[in-house]
Structure 1
Amino acid sequence: MDEVPASLANFFAQAERYLDTVDAAIRFLQGGDPSLAHRIAGRRFLPEGPRFAQLGVAPGGGNDRGGDRGDDDGDDGGGDDDDPLHWAFGALGVADRAKHLASLYIDDLADVVRDGIDPRFALSRYGERLAAAAQSFTPLCEALEGEPTLVDATLDQIAQELCERHRPELVGLTAPFPGNVYGALRLARAIKRRAPHTRIVLGGGYVNTELRELSEPRLFDYVDYVTLDDGERPLLALIEHLQRGEGPLLRTFVRQGGAVCLQTDASLHDVPLRDAGTPTYVGLPLAHYLSLLEMLNPMHRLWSDGRWNKLTVAHGCYWKKCTFCDVTLDYIARYDPGSAEKLVDRMTAMIEETGQTGFHFVDEAAPPSGLRALAERLLARKLAVTWWGNIRFEKAFTPELVELLAASGCVAISGGLEVASDRLLALINKGVTVAQVARVTRAFAEAGILVHAYLMYGFPTETVQETVDSLELVRQLFAEGCLHSAFWHRFAATVHSPVGQRPELFGIRLRPLPAVTFARNDVGFDDPTGVDHDWLGEGLRRALYNFMHGAGLDEDVRSWFGTRPRPGRWSGRRQQGRAVVPAPAVAPDVIRRALRGA
């Protein structure tokens, strides 16, 4: 008999307590019952499952090498020594402490759904593996037409209720990521069965990057149209086409005679950013969304805690030279800066609609000139807002500009450092150096602005030594207060990037792709360096988890890498059966000297 997963064993043992508390916990995370924080923070109200094991010790305590924590005996304790969360919340942070505990409670329930009901389920994605690099539509189709799970049945019911309430003639579904695709098609399937004459159009980031060569007719059993790139003009053209029974379409896939064809009229042009209009949240139950605090890091919480109105300072990327990026696609390649005055007008309208003054600018890289103009207009119009966004760590962000941004309401920024190696940054064509990134991030940090860095490993020709050196420089950036948060991404070659289009310039060989009828973007490659990046990635993530909690910053970075479990080409050395990465080749004070201008 298979062993029962820990999540399910815990749930079965405490099922009645979960039933008694789930509504209250949801209500609290929706912001509807703040006084409940005191009971939750006492750790006697909510049942605690496997997710709470991480509370056993503070990060870095004991011999922590991966975020694993000792068992928590559940003692509420009165002193600091008995309180594993005192380091994070102190004595008065009751609301945040309770939010963190309630978030772990929700994570436990999500694990129950995944382990006991539907293995495709996660809180922020559903059926992601079905759509990730899905060269064939068959796995998605089989899942859609297979025996429905409880999650499927719930989505079907929601779709049918919405269809009955609104009786739409046209439904638009956006799928920005692989984890949204199955859910979108599940909704489309339910709508088609409830109201077969309703037209459905699919778009979004996943479509724009993965489905540009779509030839799979079965997709159109669920949707009628698939549009590429910016959606405003294709959608307007489609609406006019449906109303008149004719008319040109723009970048729109349809099925005709059993085959997929792309219809696009060159006389139609995209709507410029200045005329794109103001986003609206009308119809969304904003008060019902949950604010989660899962990781005890002030920068990381911005992604899940609280609501942010979404806008862009500009369309596309003003740099658009990074060799790993899909720079040939419209959402990167077509740079269209907006008007700061109009942007502030839109912010004002969204505040009036939502009652929320928080904004997240979701640019690929917001231009420094655009952010300066925005900050000046916000201050001139005395509009009190809180905002954050994505940038390049470039020298245009002087301490003077950074202080201006902070004065206008900027509380955080994120940007791509990628690999902390000047050789690899040059190969990436990032246009920055490690020293420059250190100075820019320090300027933001000194202005009270949180800084998140996107990091990359496994770039073509990257050696073990360069990976270790990169981790060492990241450690120094955290230790010097330049970074507050970061995330390691494993490099992937795509057909729309310079690496994927000219692999010979990067010393790699692409693996041939089979015939593709559905998604085509990621492409496998062989790197002659033969480095085991999968294994290195485990150590990088362990180190970063601790750095983000202020732990392990004095450790030798080699200590984060454990035994390498499998044989293969390796440029490290073995010592008593243990694979050992080389010592950092960079000095331990590189970042400090860069900050001093040495």
Structure 2
Amino acid sequence: MSAPRLLLLIPPLTQLNTPYPSTAYLTGFLKQHGYVTGKAPVSAGTGGAGVVTQADVGIEMALALFSRDGLTRVFARVREMPGDLPGEAQQMLALERAYLDSIDAVIGFLQGQDPTLAPRICQGRFLPQGPRFAHADEQSRALGALGTTDRARYLATLYLEDLVDLIHETVAPQFALSRYAEHVGVSASSFDAVRCALAEPPSLTDEMLLEAVWRHIEEADPTLIGLTVPFPGNLFGALRIAQAVKERRPAVRVVLGGGYVNTELRRLLEPRLFDYVDYVSLDDGERPLLCLLEHLAGKRDEVELRRTFLRSEGRVVWRDGAREPEFGMAEIGAPTYAGLALDRYLSVLDTLNPMHRLWSDGHWNKLTVAHGCYWKQCTFCDVGLDYIGRYEAMPSEILTDRIEALIAETGRRGFHFVDEAAPPAGLKELALILLERGVTITWWGNIRFEQAFTRDRCRLLAASGCVAVTAGLEAASDRLLDVMKKGITVAQAARVAASFQAGGIMVHAYLMYGLPGESIGETVEALERVRQLFAHGLIQSAFWHRFVATAHSPIGLDPTAHGIRITGPAFGGFAENDLSHDDPAGEAPEWLGVGLRAALSSYMRGEALTDDVRQWFDHSVPRPKVPRHWVARVLEEMPVHDDPAAERRFVWIGGTPVSESCRHDRRRVILPNQVEDVEVRLSAEKADWLLDLIRSATPLREKRGEGYPSLREVRETYPLGGPRGFDALVRSALWRQARTGGLLLV
């Protein structure tokens, strides 16, 4: 039997700036198991276990659309439409020539190929200005702070959004800039609406999608196609692809997986889904995919598949008889982007939110510090599902090996760690190894506001390349944080944010309102705390969303215990996740969310930071009882001096010290770092001791995360007076200078 040929596809649409990482993870895994990456000749053997090819047909569809040829097709279809067009569409049709002449240049600019276009875009007479530009003046103050390139990217994104609006309102109602027919996949408890959408004739964007798909199918000649569905906005595109494959190549098997599948399709009973796909795989894809490939090769019985739905005798059946264990984090191999044209992605700027800008700007290599969440107690979270509930940390040496492999493959040094909550210990170990090996990267990831993120640990993370973190502050109310078992307090979060601030690391807070039992007064008080966090520079970015009960969270599984009543939707055999509910004890009117979002928008621009938070709401709300100087008092509680009894180790992140004789037995020691040198004058004996401590605390490749001097050992062996002398030292100006210069305790 010939070796299997697997084609992994990312359907439309996720991010425009970087590939969604699922296919890169699976391709890297299969490569480690003997698969060849690339496109095999149709009739040739491979010499290995098989061939795996990956493609992002979402970005290919978008690029086909946003081209001279693509827009020519769009405008031609729009002109053929019966009836009167909206005035905005007529205006854009009148500017057809301007759009056709500019589109390829704009796309090249957003791909980073031609930065010289930026000043021309900013001139204001190059881009045709459709309806979206009418709102650009509202952002003029914030735009004024942007450089020429960022301002041009923002204007170029408005230009694309005008085209998206035209396309959405006319020839392709399912198209949006980062999602595709999202309404089809949201709360799709029944398959009826999905099936009806698929029964519609393909739209223009569907046609462009399928043109890209067939190019890859003709080249790869797959025996199995894998479709990843991370979000509701990918479901329709995936099934449109599967539908076309079944019509033209019914012998090719199709498997569906991804984040949406893992959360929404766990109770799948709908046999009609299997008119389009052959298999549906849940949770981590490595073991299920390997088992499926073995089954299709005749090497494994169907009953020995892993976490897989299929249709048998007209009904959906579940197969999970594989005896093999899950693959550990160290066994899955490094992701690979082989086959994905990273230089073709678009860096759009569709928001002035600092964190969202970082997320959507340029390519980010995606890796995971640890599988799952080490806390896994939050009542609003799907803690029972495998991707959260099964925690396993990645060995930091192996993680760094994968970082270096991705740098070598892609030439890109930006990394997004896509953890549910990256563990503080794992991040510390990773930072040390990066410094020891001299690996330069820029990275960010999601964390919890843990006390373990001390000021020095955050400085260490910054030295290793950390530029931003995201974390859940949720309700910003101690009562509600306790009820939801978040395991933090708001004051704790403020102190942790202050530690990141000391390291120059941006903090983005995820916020939530409308939790079970939350009153309007509590929400207003939460906004007051958030205002103070922004005013003190502790957070720079935030997003506030409304609580939704989910089927697999503790709240969704036992709503009565949390004081709410689930009102729908009734499960219709297909998707199940977001649930509607009544909350007799809480209030979350829509106008509340409008006010919260407006406040955040201003705070992120540095505006209205001293204003009464009640001004943001159209209705009367209670005066917050939070003291106006709450954050200042919280920060006063942060320790000033080092605790000699703390379990910490010294790490030096500065440059190589320079020691010079002054007079008599005095020394002048210069402690260099990237910002400014710190100069200390001390006795020769104390200088020798300090220089020895710095040498032993300096990250070197042979240390491999070990051998850093402990605070306790250094204190006990201090040659100038033992522990008592050391305790006096840590309260001195000399010690504060050394710590400022880069002597960390982590």
The one of 427, 432, 445 aligned to 1:376? 432
Task: Say if 2:157 and 2:350, in contact at 8 Å, map to a contact too.
Answer: yes
Deviation at 1:2, TM superposition (A): 9.4
Q: In 2, distance between residues paired with 1:384 and 1:513?
A: 49
Per the normalisation by structure 1, the TM-score is 0.90
Amino acid at match of 1:281: Y
Partner of 1:540: 596
Partner of 2:625: 585
**Which structure 2 residues correspond to residues 135-534 of structure 1 after superposition, within 5 A?**
135-244=189-298, 246-247=300-301, 248-511=304-567, 514-529=570-585, 531-534=587-590
Per the normalisation by structure 2, the TM-score is 0.72
Partner of 1:27: 108
Q: Deviations over 1:97-151 (max 9, x none)?
A: 2112111111211111112222222111011111111111111111111122111
Amino acid at match of 1:53: A
Amino acid at match of 2:442: T
Partner of 2:636: 596
Q: 1:241 to 1:408 in 2, by over 3 A?
A: same
Q: In 2, distance between residues paired with 1:492 and 1:428?
A: 13
Q: In 1, distance between residues paired with 2:553 and 2:392?
A: 20
Deviation at 1:86, TM superposition (A): 5.8
The one of 608, 611, 630 aligned to 1:552? 608
**Which structure 2 residues correspond to residues 32-71 of structure 1 after superposition, within 5 A?**
32-58=113-139
Partner of 2:145: 88
* Paired-residue identity, %: 55
Q: 1:512 to 1:150 in 2, by over 3 A?
A: closer
Q: In 2, distance between residues paired with 1:52 and 1:408?
A: 40
Task: Say if 1:163 and 1:194, in contact at 8 Å, map to a contact too.
Answer: no
Q: Deviations over 1:492-529 (max 9, x none)?
A: 11121111122222211223652421001222221003
Deviation at 1:530, TM superposition (A): 5.4
Q: In 2, distance between residues paired with 1:45 and 1:513?
A: 49
Q: In 2, distance between residues paired with 1:145 and 1:21?
A: 36
Partner of 1:576: none
Question: Which secondary structure state, in structure 2, belongs to the residue aligned with residue 121 of structure 1?
Answer: coil
Deviation at 1:369, TM superposition (A): 0.3
Deviation at 1:191, TM superposition (A): 2.1
Amino acid at match of 2:625: A
Q: Deviations over 1:384-404 (max 9, x none)?
A: 000000000110100010000
- Higher mean C-alpha deviation, range 396-405 or range 510-519: 510-519
Amino acid at match of 1:118: A
Q: In 1, distance between residues paired with 2:460 and 2:292?
A: 43
Task: Say if 1:55 and 1:85, in contact at 8 Å, map to a contact too.
Answer: no
Amino acid at match of 2:225: V
Deviation at 1:156, TM superposition (A): 1.9
Q: 1:85 to 1:209 in 2, by over 3 A?
A: closer
Q: In 1, distance between residues paired with 2:465 and 2:87?
A: 44
Deviation at 1:174, TM superposition (A): 0.7
Deviation at 1:437, TM superposition (A): 0.6
Task: Say if 1:168 and 1:198, in contact at 8 Å, map to a contact too.
Answer: yes
Partner of 2:174: 120
Q: In 2, distance between residues paired with 1:57 and 1:133?
A: 34
Question: Which secondary structure state, in structure 2, belongs to the residue aligned with residue 244 of structure 1?
Answer: coil
Task: Say if 1:160 and 1:194, in contact at 8 Å, map to a contact too.
Answer: no
Q: 1:445 to 1:175 in 2, by over 3 A?
A: same
**Which structure 2 residues correspond to residues 92-107 of structure 1 after superposition, within 5 A?**
93-107=147-161
Q: 1:334 to 1:532 in 2, by over 3 A?
A: closer
Task: Say if 1:7 and 1:115, in contact at 8 Å, map to a contact too.
Answer: no
